[in-house]
Structure 1
Amino acid sequence: MNRFTHQNARQFLFGLDNANFLSVFDEYCDGVLITNADGIIVYYNKAMSRIDELEPEDVILNQVTDVYDLDDETSLIMQCLITRRPIIDKSNYYRTRMGKFANTIHNVHPIFNQNQLVGCICFVRDFHVLTETLSIMRLPETQHRMHPYEITFDSIIGQDPAFKDALNAARMAANTPSPVMLYGETGTGKELFARAIHNHSPRHEKKYTPVNCAAIPENLLEGILFGTSKGAFTGAINKAGLFERTSQGTIFLDEINSMPVGLQSKILRIVQDGKVRRVGALKEIKFDLKIISSVNQDPHTSIAAGSLRSDLFYRLGVVFIHIVPLRDRMSDLPLLVDHFIDKHNKALGRQVRGAEDAVMEMFYQYHWPGNVRELEHVIEGAMNIMGPDNRIRIKYLQPHFAQGHSNYRTAGHRASRWMAHSSKSGDTGETGPSDLLLNKNEHEKKLVWQALMQFRGNVTRSAKKLGISRQLLYYKMKKYHLSRDQFR
Structure 2
Amino acid sequence: MELNLPHGMEHHLLMNELYKNLLDELDVGIHVINEKGKTIVYNRKMMEIESMKGEDVLGKELLEVFRFHDKQHSTLVRALKEGKSTKNVKQTYFNNKGKEITTINDSFPILNQGNITGAVEIAKDITQLERVIKENVLRKQNTKFTFDQIIGESESIKSVIEESKRATRTSSSVLIVGETGTGKELFAQSIHNGSSRSGATFLSQNCAAIPESLMESLLFGTKKGAFTGAVDRPGLFEQADGGTLLLDEINSLAPSLQAKLLRVIQEKTIRRVGDMKDKEVDVRIIATINEDPVDAIANDRLRKDLYYRLSVVTLFIPPLRNRKKDLQLLSQRFINKYNALFHMNVKKLSNEAMQLLSQHDWPGNVRELEHTIEGTMNLIMDEDIIHVQNLPVSLRKKYHKESYQKDIQDIAGLGGESTPLREKVQEAEKLYVQQVLEENDYNISRTAKILCISRQSLQYRIKKFGL
TM-score by length of structure 2 reads 0.56
Deviation of 1:147 (Å): 4.2
- Judged with a 3 Å threshold, the aligned counterparts in structure 2 of structure 1 residues 333 and 140 are, in CA distance, closer, same or farther, namely closer
* Percent of paired sites with the same residue: 44
Determine if the alignment matches structure 1 residue 258 to structure 2 residue 252: yes
| Structure 1 unmatched ranges of 5 or more | 1-138, 414-488
Once the two structures are superposed, residues 177-200 of structure 1 have per-residue CA deviations (whole angstroms, 9 ceiling, x without a partner) of 101110000000000000100110
User: Superposition RMSD on alpha carbons, in Å?
Assistant: 2.4
Match of 1:205 among 199, 203, 223: 199
Match of 1:170 among 164, 170, 173: 164
In the alignment, the residues of structure 1 paired with residue 268 and residue 171 of structure 2 have an alpha-carbon distance, to the nearest angstrom, of 12
Amino acid at match of 2:349: A
| Structure 2 unmatched ranges of 5 or more | 1-131, 406-467
- Number of the residue aligned with 1:245: 239
Amino acid at match of 1:381: G
- Number of the residue aligned with 2:182: 188
Deviation of 1:355 (Å): 1.0
Does the 8 Å CA contact 2:222/2:275 hold for their aligned counterparts?
yes
In the alignment, the residues of structure 2 paired with residue 323 and residue 281 of structure 1 have an alpha-carbon distance, to the nearest angstrom, of 39
Please state whether the residue corresponding to 1:214 is helix, strand or coil. Answer: coil
Pairing 1:311-390 to 2, within 5 Å after superposition = 311-390=305-384
Pairing 1:25-174 to 2, within 5 Å after superposition = 143=136, 146-148=139-141, 150-174=144-168
- Number of the residue aligned with 2:209: 215
In the alignment, the residues of structure 1 paired with residue 184 and residue 400 of structure 2 have an alpha-carbon distance, to the nearest angstrom, of 28
Determine if the alignment matches structure 1 residue 301 to structure 2 residue 284: no
- Judged with a 3 Å threshold, the aligned counterparts in structure 2 of structure 1 residues 230 and 408 are, in CA distance, closer, same or farther, namely farther
Once the two structures are superposed, residues 173-221 of structure 1 have per-residue CA deviations (whole angstroms, 9 ceiling, x without a partner) of 0110101110000000000000100110001111000111111111111
Please state whether the residue corresponding to 2:169 is helix, strand or coil. Answer: coil
In the alignment, the residues of structure 2 paired with residue 258 and residue 303 of structure 1 have an alpha-carbon distance, to the nearest angstrom, of 12
- Number of the residue aligned with 1:93: none
- Judged with a 3 Å threshold, the aligned counterparts in structure 2 of structure 1 residues 313 and 349 are, in CA distance, closer, same or farther, namely same
- Judged with a 3 Å threshold, the aligned counterparts in structure 2 of structure 1 residues 395 and 303 are, in CA distance, closer, same or farther, namely same
- Number of the residue aligned with 1:391: 385
Does the 8 Å CA contact 1:277/1:284 hold for their aligned counterparts?
yes
- Number of the residue aligned with 1:276: 270
In the alignment, the residues of structure 1 paired with residue 155 and residue 251 of structure 2 have an alpha-carbon distance, to the nearest angstrom, of 27
- Judged with a 3 Å threshold, the aligned counterparts in structure 2 of structure 1 residues 391 and 231 are, in CA distance, closer, same or farther, namely same
- Judged with a 3 Å threshold, the aligned counterparts in structure 2 of structure 1 residues 409 and 377 are, in CA distance, closer, same or farther, namely same
Deviation of 1:141 (Å): 11
Does the 8 Å CA contact 1:366/1:408 hold for their aligned counterparts?
no
- Judged with a 3 Å threshold, the aligned counterparts in structure 2 of structure 1 residues 225 and 144 are, in CA distance, closer, same or farther, namely farther
- Judged with a 3 Å threshold, the aligned counterparts in structure 2 of structure 1 residues 365 and 245 are, in CA distance, closer, same or farther, namely same
- Number of the residue aligned with 2:225: 231
Pairing 1:421-460 to 2, within 5 Å after superposition = none
Aligned length: 273
Deviation of 1:400 (Å): 4.9
- Judged with a 3 Å threshold, the aligned counterparts in structure 2 of structure 1 residues 147 and 294 are, in CA distance, closer, same or farther, namely farther
- Judged with a 3 Å threshold, the aligned counterparts in structure 2 of structure 1 residues 318 and 328 are, in CA distance, closer, same or farther, namely same
Please state whether the residue corresponding to 1:282 is helix, strand or coil. Answer: coil
TM-score by length of structure 1 reads 0.53
In the alignment, the residues of structure 1 paired with residue 137 and residue 277 of structure 2 have an alpha-carbon distance, to the nearest angstrom, of 26
Runs of 4+ that moved beyond 6 A: 139-142
Does the 8 Å CA contact 2:133/2:199 hold for their aligned counterparts?
no
Amino acid at match of 2:136: Q
- Judged with a 3 Å threshold, the aligned counterparts in structure 2 of structure 1 residues 337 and 281 are, in CA distance, closer, same or farther, namely same
Deviation of 1:261 (Å): 1.2
Deviation of 1:409 (Å): 4.7
Higher radius of gyration, 1 or 2: 2
- Judged with a 3 Å threshold, the aligned counterparts in structure 2 of structure 1 residues 394 and 211 are, in CA distance, closer, same or farther, namely same
- Judged with a 3 Å threshold, the aligned counterparts in structure 2 of structure 1 residues 384 and 144 are, in CA distance, closer, same or farther, namely closer
